[in-house]
A = this chain, B = another copy of it.
């Protein structure tokens, strides 16, 4: 079924092309006309691949989350905790653009959906727990809350970058966080 493969591939390409626009302006501030113009296709073609703007956005969230999952999975990890933290630092810096945009759409996603709605949908439920799982596995932390907390802090940095005036680089901030975490772990769980 080569056609389905191609079509599926094309669907993903569309999603990634929309990623920028949604991340920068927010879901509600991007019109379908803008999207289709950006994609270089007609609005009709967009609706051939996605049943609605809402669905396109949700599939974007899903796809992007899956890609993030892959990033975590394939990244080098290191062994002592400090090295793992540095591996995380590297992963974030190397994929700065992805992570920043992902943080943006995630905030948007939550504003457009009731919590109940997310909790009822198995796909979103799964995605929603992703960061916690990914981070805790990546850092090999048994304390899931701590893992999630670290991701929360990272998220703060990512969102700060949306309001970027360039004066305080992502790299610098991530590095500072890294140092903070290392200091914390040295103090509380010196292994």
Interfacial residues, chain A to chain B (CB-CB below 8 A): 24-29, 104, 107-108, 110-112, 115, 119, 128, 145-146, 148-149, 152-157, 159-160, 162-165, 168, 172-173, 176-177, 179-181, 183-184, 186-188
Of the candidates B29, B146, B149, B155, the one whose C-beta lies within 8 Å of that of A112 is B29
- A115–B161 alpha-carbon span in the complex (Å): 12
18 contacts between A and B (CB under 8 A): A26-B26, A26-B111, A28-B28, A28-B29, A107-B107, A115-B163, A128-B163, A145-B168, A148-B168, A152-B157, A152-B160, A152-B173, A153-B153, A153-B177, A159-B159, A179-B188, A183-B186, A183-B188
- Cβ-defined contact, B163 with A149, below 8 A: no
- Cβ-defined contact, A168 with B149, below 8 A: yes
A127 to chain B, nearest CB (A): 12
- Cβ-defined contact, B26 with A163, below 8 A: no
- A183–B189 alpha-carbon span in the complex (Å): 12
- A187–B112 alpha-carbon span in the complex (Å): 42
- Cβ-defined contact, B168 with A179, below 8 A: no
- A157–B128 alpha-carbon span in the complex (Å): 16
- A163–B115 alpha-carbon span in the complex (Å): 7
CB contacts (< 8 Å) of A156 on chain B: these are 152-157, 159
